[in-house]
Amino acid sequence: MKIGVFGGTFDPVHQGHIELVKTAIEELDLDLLYVMPNGNPPHKEKEWDKKHRLGMVKLAFRNIPKVEISDYEINKEEPSYTYETLTDFQKEHPDDEIYFLMGMDNLSYFPNWKHPEIICKLAKLVFFGRCGYERTEEGVKAIREQFGAEPMLISFGWDISSTEIRSELGQGTYIFHKLPFLVYQYIIRNGLYDCPSVKEYDSFEEDLKNYIEEKRFLHSIGVAVTAYRMAIRYKEDPKLAYFAGLLHDIAKRMPLDKQLDLCKKIELHPDEVAYPKMLHAPAGAGFVKKKYNIKDKKLLSGIRYHTMGHKDMTTFDKLIYMADYIEPCRNFDGVEDLREATFSNLDEAIIKGIDTTILSLVEEHLKISPVLLEVRNDLLEREQKGR
């Protein structure tokens, strides 16, 4: 078997790591690739950071074929050197061909590692990154001459770094093309990198599984994390936005009569009755209030209006409305533009979103709720007045 080993700090793991692993498996025709977070990176670290880095890596690679996560280095007490790791690895895989993957920035330093000659005997060296610089050629030549090994190079455009991600975490940007949203959820759930923690909502998340199917559940997590990011951007409470996003579709799969029952104390718009698909929003607000005794007006209103919107939407209402539209599981033509618009001008994004909805309703020969036009016209009017 051809086995790859890819070590790193993964602080945090990001989309670039995932793309690289996929590329390596394909280009090297690997049967298996171990992703191995290091236990004791040179900078000083708290004990729990190891556990969290491993937790994030497990989530990031959970659906990638041929990938296994190795906790070998994480579990070691003393600093781990690559030659030791590979020696133990060789013992476990005596008949396999081992490929050791590392970033191109290691190329010139490699001869200074501890026992590079042993590493070269145990594994084929694979460097990934931007190829073609003079320094790259010099590095390859040095390894060839000193250790008689022939390093392999994988050209890989690496434009995301963990350092950048860490500094972007505190800003309100759309980040899920760089960072898998479940990894982000892990980060904010555990309050890593100074993010306000949402751990207190874990029991609600667990309970949510009783009401909706897996796909809708993932969508709800997507809305929760997107609303959290948007709240940072638009100076709302990120934790409350997360909570509203998490629960916004809780009534979606309830039978219609139950939904109607939950709406008893809520004033419905005639269109909500006419289009039963819309009912789960007010029903959800009714349910959350009744079952969990939640009275927070912002949260209830965010859930209440997440499908239709209304003329006087608050910023918080708009967050949930748009987060539902653009969360990372959504995949439709133009979604990227809409994400960008959402994080630059919320009202314009809503208008754009409504335009998209109207166009698709026209195309499918379906009725258009006047509320859509009301919300759109109202936002347009405000925009024009503001100018």
Cis check: omega of the bond before 12, within 30 degrees of 0: yes
- Do the bridges between strand 67-69 and strand 97-103 make them parallel or antiparallel, or are there none, so unpaired? unpaired
Cα angle 300, 233, 165 (rounded to 5 degrees) comes to 120
Nearer to Fe ion, 5 or 326 (CB): 326
If binding means CB under 5 A, how many residues of this protein chain bind Fe ion? 2
Q: Which of 202, 199, 244 is nearest to 223 (CA)?
A: 244
Stretch binding Fe ion (CB under 5 A), from 84-92, 188-196, 322-330, 333-341: 322-330
Q: Decide if 211 contacts 250 (C-beta within 8 A).
A: yes
Nearer to Fe ion, 32 or 218 (CB): 218
Nearer to Fe ion, 61 or 321 (CB): 321
CB of 158 to Fe ion, least distance (A): 34
CB of 306 to Fe ion, least distance (A): 6
Nearer to Fe ion, 59 or 251 (CB): 251
CB of 278 to Fe ion, least distance (A): 9
Site string for Fe ion, 266-305 (x = CB under 5 A): ----------------------------------------
CB of 281 to Fe ion, least distance (A): 6
CB of 219 to Fe ion, least distance (A): 6
CB of 280 to Fe ion, least distance (A): 6
Nearer to Fe ion, 205 or 324 (CB): 324
Nearer to Fe ion, 120 or 322 (CB): 322
374-387 burial, b at 16+ Cβ within 10 Å, e below that, comes to ebbebbeeeeeeee
Among 73, 317, 324, 347, binds Fe ion (CB under 5 A): 324
Binding to Fe ion (CB under 5 A): which residues in 140-159?
none
327: contact with Fe ion by CB under 5 A:
no
- Kindly write down the DSSP assignment for every residue of 187-249, as one continuous string: HHHTTGGGPPP-GGGHHHHHHHTTTS-HHHHHHHHHHHHHHHHHHHHTTS-HHHHHHHHHHTT
Structural tokens at position 190: 């555990």
Q: Decide if 17 contacts 8 (C-beta within 8 A).
A: yes
Q: Decide if 215 contacts 188 (C-beta within 8 A).
A: no
Nearer to Fe ion, 80 or 307 (CB): 307
d(CA 198, CA 287) in angstroms, rounded, equals 21
For 112, phi then psi, to 5°, come to -90, 0
46-58 burial, b at 16+ Cβ within 10 Å, e below that, comes to eeeebebbbbbbb
Residue 372 CA: distances (Å) to CA of 151, 178, 227, 284, 364: 60, 33, 21, 20, 16
Stretch binding Fe ion (CB under 5 A), from 27-35, 228-236, 239-247, 320-328: 320-328
Binding to Fe ion (CB under 5 A): which residues in 245-264?
249
Stretch binding Fe ion (CB under 5 A), from 37-45, 145-153, 154-162, 316-324: 316-324
Nearer to Fe ion, 94 or 255 (CB): 255
For 267, phi then psi, to 5°, come to -75, 115
Stretch binding Fe ion (CB under 5 A), from 60-68, 236-244, 321-329, 370-378: 321-329
Return residues touching Fe ion (CB under 5 A). 249, 324
